[in-house]
Structure 1
């Protein structure tokens, strides 16, 4: 059976199923490319930034700035770009950046969820319509005669749409679960990297205080002499 014959025998619902399959395929390919770029460089970026932070925070900020094309780079750069933040502000910047980056990693999830829900229903609808079409021409007196021989073939063809809907939904579900596993792993990686960077900062904070950057605010010294009483 050719692709064209499959579409014709599956009925009119095969066209929306085809549209859903193309949307799902495009989303899957885009997400695979997205995760491939992240997972291949992430560990190296984290190690470089943490190693630099243990020696020089300005160098760590520069390395994180150069890695802003990666989510982990933008995540770690968010607190490092601040001028002399308080440890609590440093932590807040990490948390805010993590929420933003993890939200961007969920792109495409809603589309895959819609395909997973709609594809089987459309397939079932096509089967019901096919059964109605096949059984509508049967009369009670034709049962058991040769005139009903084509009904079996019509019923088998009406099941094509259900099979197509299940294939689209199952394929989308497999990749959806894979992307969810990647996301959960990213949550652990972000939490670990953020905690390590925050711990280093809290350890160094008492040493350099507000004098880390050249634009740090210095306290004013009142040189006026006390008045004589």
Structure 2
């Protein structure tokens, strides 16, 4: 722990925003992982159940969706199924409108990861510049050899540590952003597939009332 504190202090003032950025990345990554794990564990069985219930015209379908409304796909299904005597076009528009409304929830915090990806290397570069300035400032003309060596070493340490920290934070944020983008794209595909199946069932039921 003492070594980490020494390294942190040696990195200069830019280590504080980089530390804040790393904490933010970790916290948001944990929140998003919990979100996607919940969806991955519950969504597919729920979709199968809802499609079966709706195909059989079961009155329990809306109650089932109410219990699962914390899932985005459940809220999308509810937007269509909740319409009374909806035509196929109205049903489709309701599903599409709610699907678009759910997109910001599915993409939540990706812009924050992108911002950190861009800012972290720049902060590291700023630490490099300030560290090198401190090093050159310590090399005074006319000084005896070794008189400013400690300051020079300190400045170089600040430059290297801040640069490395900025790159590490950016790499971690990039990995998280790419992972969550992939999960988002996969979710969009599943939403399109499942809403298409639900729309087809509704169209058949509408054409065959009762």
Q: TM-score when scaled to structure 2? A: 0.92
Q: Residue in 2 aligned with 1:160?
A: 161
Q: Does 1:206 align with 2:204?
A: no
Deviates more, 1:1-10 or 1:75-84: 1-10
SS in 2 for 1:113: helix
The within-5 A match list for 1:137-152 is: 137-139=138-140, 145-147=145-147, 149-150=149-150, 151-152=152-153
Alignment of 1:65-144 (within 5 A): 65-139=66-140
Instruction: Name the structure with the higher helix share.
Output: 2
C-alpha distance in 2 between matches for 1:60 and 1:185: 25
CA distance in 2, matches of 1:148, 1:82: 78
Matched, 1:49 2:43: no
Alpha carbons of 1:57 and 1:78: their partners in 2 closer, same or farther (altered >3 Å)?
A: farther
Which residue in the other structure is 2:38 paired with?
A: 37
Distance 2:37 2:168 in 1: 25
For the residue of structure 2 that corresponds to 1:24, the secondary structure is helix
2:19 alignment partner, SS class: helix
- The alpha carbon displacement at 1:53 in A equals 1.3
Alpha-carbon distance in 1 for matches of 2:88, 2:58: 14
- Aligned equivalents of 2:199, 2:15: Cα separation in 1: 54
| Displacement after TM superposition at 1:207 (Å) | 1.5
After TM superposition, the runs of 4+ consecutive aligned structure 1 residues lying more than 6 A away are none
Q: Which runs of 5+ in 1 are unaligned?
A: 213-229
Is the partner of 2:108 in helix, strand or coil?
coil
> Scaled by the length of structure 1, what TM-score is found?
0.85
Gaps of 5+ in 2: none
What is the RMSD of the two structures over their aligned residues, measured on CA atoms? 1.8
Bigger Rg over Cα: 1
Q: Secondary structure at the match of 2:56?
A: coil
Mean CA deviation greater in 28-37 or 63-72: 63-72
CA distance in structure 1 between the aligned counterparts of 2:29 and 2:131, rounded to whole angstroms: 31
Note if contact 2:131-2:157 (Cα within 8 Å) is conserved in structure 1. no
